[in-house]
C-alpha cells in the first residue's frame, strides 16, 4: 500500500499565495478527481507535489509513504514512484523519443536498468497504444498532434511504473477515439499496478472510463468540497458559484 499525503499545504509564487491549506490523501488503487475554475491552483498543486522549484512551500508537508518529500528534488520524487503528466507536454527538438524514454527509465531504475528489457517493453506498450515505431526516431513530441503527445505521456507512465500518478488535463484536446484509448489504458494501468491516481480536469468525459472514488472542488486555493462521482454531475449542471460562496 502506497500513500501520498498533503498536509495543510500553503504555496506562493512570486510572493502571491496560491494554495491555502490543502489537505489531501491518495492511497493505492484510489482515483481522485480535482476540479475547479481556471486559475485557482489546480496545476500549481500538481507541480508542487512533483517538486517544481518555481513554487515556494511556506507551510505544510508532502509525505510519500510516510517520508517527508516537501523539499526533495524532482528526480528523487520520480525514483520513489511519483509521476506527473503535463497539461501541455513539452517539445524537445533534437532529442529522439527513444533517447528521451531511455534516459527517463534508466535514471529511475539505476543499476537495475536493462536495455533489452526496456526495448521489449517499449515495443509492447507502443503497440498497445497504437503508436507507430517511426515515432522513436523523431524528436520528442516535435510536430506531434495533441493525441500523439498524450499517448506519449501514457507510454512514459507505463514505462516508469509510478505508484502515484498525477494526470493534469490528460483529456484536453483529444478527439473521441484518442480519449477512448487514453481512458482505457489509464484504467488498465490503475488495475494492473493498483496505482493511486489524481486527475485534474474540467470535464466528466474521461470519467466515463474511470469512475472516481473521490471528487474534490478547488476554489481560491482551497478545497471547498469533497464528494463522490455525483459531485461531477452537480458541477456540470450548476458550475462553481455555490463553492465560491462557501
Chain centre distance of CA 227:
20
Predicted local distance difference test score (pLDDT) of residue 20: 96
User: How confident is the chain (246 residues) per 10-residue block, as mean pLDDT?
Assistant: 96 94 96 92 94 95 97 94 90 94 93 94 93 93 90 94 94 83 89 92 82 94 94 89 77
How far is it, in rounded angstroms, from Cα 71 to Cα 25? 18
Q: Decide: helix, strand or coil at residue 123.
A: helix
Which candidate, 160, 184, 182, 204, places its Cα nearest to that of 50?
160
Task: Say what the pLDDT of residue 245 is.
Answer: 66
- Output the pLDDT for position 246: 59
30-44 burial string, b = 16+ CB within 10 Å, else e? bbbbbbbbeebbbbb
DSSP codes of every residue in 7-19: EEEEEEETTEEEE
pLDDT of residue 21: 96
Q: Which of 224, 232, 242, 215 is nearest to 33 (CA)?
A: 215
Amino acid at each position: 500500500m502506497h500513500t501520498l499525503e498533503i498536509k495543510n499545504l500553503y504555496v506562493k509564487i512570486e510572493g502571491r499565495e496560491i494554495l491555502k491549506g490543502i489537505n489531501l490523501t491518495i492511497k493505492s488503487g484510489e482515483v481522485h478527481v480535482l476540479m475547479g475554475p481556471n486559475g485557482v491552483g489546480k496545476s500549481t498543486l500538481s507541480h508542487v507535489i512533483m517538486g517544481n522549484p518555481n513554487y515556494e512551500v511556506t507551510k505544510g508537508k508532502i509525505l510519500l509513504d510516510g517520508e517527508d518529500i516537501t523539499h526533495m528534488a524532482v528526480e528523487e520524487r520520480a525514483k520513489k514512484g511519483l509521476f506527473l503528466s503535463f497539461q501541455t507536454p513539452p517539445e524537445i527538438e533534437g532529442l529522439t523519443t527513444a533517447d528521451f524514454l531511455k534516459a527517463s527509465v534508466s535514471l529511475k531504475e539505476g543499476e537495475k536498468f536493462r536495455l533489452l528489457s526496456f526495448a521489449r517493453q517499449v515495443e509492447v506498450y507502443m503497440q498497445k497504444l497504437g503508436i507507430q515505431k517511426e515515432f522513436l526516431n523523431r524528436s520528442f513530441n516535435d510536430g506531434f498532434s495533441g493525441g500523439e503527445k498524450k499517448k506519449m505521456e501514457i507510454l512514459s507512465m507505463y514505462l516508469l511504473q509510478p505508484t502515484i500518478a498525477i494526470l493534469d488535463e490528460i483529456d484536453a484536446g483529444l478527439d473521441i477515439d484518442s480519449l477512448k484509448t487514453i481512458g482505457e489504458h489509464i484504467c488498465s494501468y490503475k488495475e494492473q499496478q493498483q496505482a493511486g491516481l489524481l486527475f485534474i480536469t474540467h470535464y466528466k468525459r474521461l470519467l466515463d472510463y474511470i469512475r472516481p472514488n473521490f471528487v474534490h472542488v478547488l476554489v481560491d486555493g482551497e478545497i471547498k468540497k469533497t464528494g463522490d462521482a455525483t459531485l461531477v454531475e452537480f458541477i456540470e449542471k450548476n458550475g462553481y458559484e455555490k463553492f465560491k460562496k462557501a
